[in-house]
Every structure is written in structure tokens, then in C-alpha cells.
């Protein structure tokens, strides 16, 4: 059965290739920083399932130290703008095919893979169909792009390294944040925060409860970086006992708008690195908070709108 382990070997192999490419880059005196950083990441990806947790932890700490020192990647090998321009003029719209193949195949795989069976068992782990489909989409896109550009895997590795160098340590930040979420959960941080919110704000009016619930969802998401982590805590702490229990509100309207209020928080926080910090790195922006700054006015308006909608409709059954 194809599951996560197969994907981890693929991803680990890719990052190992990036690390090797850095290690061989003799023109860069600081090449070991990038080589060791991506090398450690590759080892955790490949061996994380059977490596002692302490060993993974030490590898992670090495990565953090290197990232703090600065990765200082060497110059990337790629083509000049004139060559790209010329290539664009010959390949024209065929260039879009591999890019569009990725989502198309991801979608097709998500729909079709669950029914494919080999020897009585499902071919793909049913829980991981989306990720496996994405990987298949990336591989098909890669082979299409290789044929289109008439080049080999070495070029693909070099171009992939160019992108990962532009993104830098931000590439592992989402995973580190997820790890922090795990530690927060183990230490019971969520319950303490919810206790603070419910303990100190007098909620004798339905409107106050609604405002505390929606802004609480947004604030908690800003802190945790994830609306999914905020929802159970805020809904169990304020939503269900007060809005539904005490004031007789509709749990469906409350939950739907509460979750969307959490999404407003996601737009505002560097803790949601995948959406806010990584794209700033991917797009090579000078200010790593530039995406959050652009999103803020829309986020605040929608938080206000969600609160108003909830106040207007949640109590009318």
C-alpha cells in the first residue's frame, strides 16, 4: 500500500539532492551551512519514523542554529533572462501544461485512487489519498516539464534548489509551527487561555457573548496560528455554554461564523506561516509581513461582518 512513508522517501530524496548540490558548490565558502541545513532536513524526512525522537530533536536544533546564523546559499545555476525570453517564444502556451497538470492530476487522483485496489487491498492508503495524488501530480508535471525542455533530472534538481534557496528556512517553518502546536496541546496551553477569556469578561448580555466569541476565535487563532486549534477551545469555553446554553442561540450559525472569524485571525498572524510568511519568501518580498499588511483591512472588515451576522441571526430560531 502506498502511504506517507513512500512520500517521505521522495521528499527526503529531493532535499538530499539539494543538500548535495550545495556541498559540491566549491565557489561558496559558506556552502556547508546550506548543505548541512537541507541535509538534516532530508535525514528527518527519510528516517523520522524510526530515528529516536531525541536524535530528530537534535537535528532540528542544528537546523535552527544554522538558520539563525544565515544560510548564505551560493549563486544558483540557471539561464539568463534573454534565454528565458527566447524559450518562452518557442514553447509558448505549452509551458502552462505541466503547471496545470499538477492540480488536474491531484483532483483526478483524489477522486479515482480510493477505488483502485491491488491484490484485494487498496493501492493507496485511504487516509492519504490527497497527498499521494499531489505527489503523483508533481511527478507527472516533472516528467512533462523535462520532456518539454529536453533536459534531465540534474537540471530539475538545480532549478528546484534555486527556488528552495529563495524560500530558505521559511520552508520548514510551517512544520516547526505544527510541532509547537503539538507541544502547546501537550502542555494544556489552550485551556489556560480559554480560562482567562471566560474568567475575566462579564457576559451577561447575548451581544457581549457573541463579540467575545468571534474576537476570541480571531485572537486565539492569531496566537495558535490555526483556526482548527482555536475552534474546540473557544466553542467549548464560550460558544456552547453561553451563546447556545444560556441565551438559546443556534449552534450551526454560531459554529459556521465562529470558524470564519477564526479564518480572519489566520490572515493576520505570522504564526500561520504557510499562508503569510512562506509566500513572502516564495515571492522574494523584502518585508516578511507584507502579505499580512495587505490582508489586514479585509480581515478586520470580515471579522466585523461575521460578528454582525452572528448577532443578527444566531438568536432567531
Partner 1 sequence: MLVLSGIAVVILGFALRFNPLLVVTLAGIATGLAAGFDPVAVVAMLGKAFAENRFIAVAWLVLPVIGLLERGGIRERARTLIVKLRGATAGRVLTSYFVIRQLTATLGLTSLGGHVQMVRPLIAPMAEAAAEKTAPLDGETRDLIRANAAAVDNIAVFFGEDVFIAIGSILLIRGFLEQYGISVTPAHIALWAIPTAILAFVVHAIRLRLLDRRLARRKTVAE
Binding positions for partner 1, 177-216, rule CB under 8 A: 177-184, 186-189, 192-193
> CA separation (Å) from 234 to 63, 94, 192, 198?
34, 49, 11, 9
Q: Which of residues 53-72 bind partner 1 (CB under 8 A)?
A: 53-61, 63-64, 67-68
Distance CA 296, CA 197 (A): 23
Binding track over 90-129 against partner 1, x by CB under 8 A: -xxx-xx-xx--xx--xx--x-----------------x-
Nearest approach in angstroms of CB 191 to partner 1 is 9
Using alpha carbons, list the distances in angstroms from residue 38 to 22, 41, 44, 74, 171: 9, 5, 10, 14, 10
The H-assigned helical ranges of the chain are 4-23, 31-47, 53-69, 81-91, 96-112, 129-149, 153-167, 173-187, 189-200, 206-224, 227-234, 251-266, 273-282, 290-313
274 binds partner 1 (CB under 8 A): yes
Q: Kindly tell me which of 169 and 315 has the beta carbon lying closer to partner 1.
A: 169
Coil, helix or strand for 117?
strand
Choose between 31 and 266: whose C-beta lies nearer to partner 1: 266
Q: Which residues contact 291 (CB under 8 A, 6 or more apart)?
A: 275, 276, 277, 279, 280, 285
Under rule CB under 8 A, which residues in 15-34 are in contact with partner 1? 15
Give the residue, chosen from 129, 172, 217, 219, that forms a contact with partner 1 under the rule CB under 8 A: 172
Is 190 or 203 the residue whose CB approaches partner 1 more closely? 190
Least CB distance from residue 105 to partner 1, whole Å? 10
Nearer residue to partner 1 within complex by CB, 204 or 265? 265
Work out whether 233 is an interface residue with partner 1 (CB under 8 A). no
Distances from the Cα of 129 to the Cα of 14, 168, 172, angstroms: 21, 28, 23
Could you tell me the smallest distance in angstroms from the CB atom of residue 257 to partner 1? Answer: 6
The position carrying cell 489519498 is 129
CB closer to partner 1, 79 vs 120: 79
Q: Is 159 in the site for partner 1 (CB under 8 A)?
A: yes
Q: Are 45 and 18 in contact (CB under 8 A)?
A: no
Sole window of 28-36, 113-121, 201-209, 274-282 interacting with partner 1 (rule: CB under 8 A):
274-282
Amino acid at each position: 500500500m502506498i502511504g506517507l512513508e513512500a512520500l517521505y522517501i521522495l521528499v527526503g530524496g529531493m532535499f538530499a539532492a539539494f543538500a548535495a548540490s550545495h556541498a559540491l558548490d566549491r565557489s561558496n565558502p559558506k556552502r556547508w551551512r546550506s548543505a548541512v541545513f537541507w541535509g538534516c532536513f532530508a535525514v528527518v524526512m527519510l528516517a523520522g519514523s524510526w530515528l529516536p525522537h531525541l536524535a530528530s530533536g537534535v537535528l532540528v536544533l542544528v537546523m535552527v542554529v544554522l538558520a539563525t546564523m544565515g544560510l548564505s546559499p551560493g549563486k544558483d545555476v540557471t539561464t539568463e533572462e534573454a534565454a528565458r525570453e527566447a524559450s518562452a517564444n518557442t514553447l509558448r502556451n505549452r509551458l502552462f501544461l505541466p503547471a496545470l497538470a499538477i492540480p488536474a492530476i491531484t483532483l483526478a487522483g483524489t477522486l479515482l485512487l480510493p477505488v483502485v485496489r491491488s491484490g484485494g487491498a487498496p493501492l493507496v492508503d485511504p487516509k492519504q489519498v490527497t497527498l499521494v495524488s499531489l505527489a503523483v501530480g508533481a511527478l507527472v508535471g516533472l516528467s512533462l516539464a523535462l520532456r518539454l525542455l529536453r533536459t534531465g533530472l540534474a537540471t530539475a534538481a538545480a532549478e528546484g534548489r534555486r527556488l528552495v534557496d529563495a524560500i530558505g528556512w521559511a520552508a520548514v517553518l510551517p512544520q516547526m509551527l505544527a510541532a509547537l502546536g503539538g507541544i502547546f496541546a501537550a502542555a494544556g496551553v489552550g485551556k489556560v487561555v480559554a480560562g482567562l477569556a471566560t474568567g475575566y469578561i462579564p457576559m451577561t448580555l447575548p451581544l457581549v457573548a457573541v463579540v467575545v466569541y468571534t474576537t476570541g476565535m480571531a485572537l486565539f487563532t492569531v496566537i495558535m496560528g490555526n483556526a482548527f486549534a482555536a475552534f474546540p477551545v473557544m466553542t467549548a469555553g464560550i460558544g456552547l455554554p453561553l451563546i447556545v446554553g444560556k441565551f438559546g442561540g443556534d449552534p450551526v450559525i454560531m459554529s459556521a461564523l465562529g470558524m470564519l472569524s477564526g479564518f480572519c485571525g489566520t490572515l493576520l498572524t505570522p504564526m500561520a506561516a504557510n499562508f503569510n510568511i512562506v509566500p513572502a519568501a516564495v515571492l522574494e518580498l523584502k518585508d516578511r509581513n507584507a502579505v499580512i499588511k495587505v490582508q489586514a483591512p479585509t480581515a478586520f472588515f470580515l471579522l466585523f461582518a461575521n460578528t454582525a451576522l452572528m448577532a443578527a441571526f444566531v438568536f432567531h430560531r
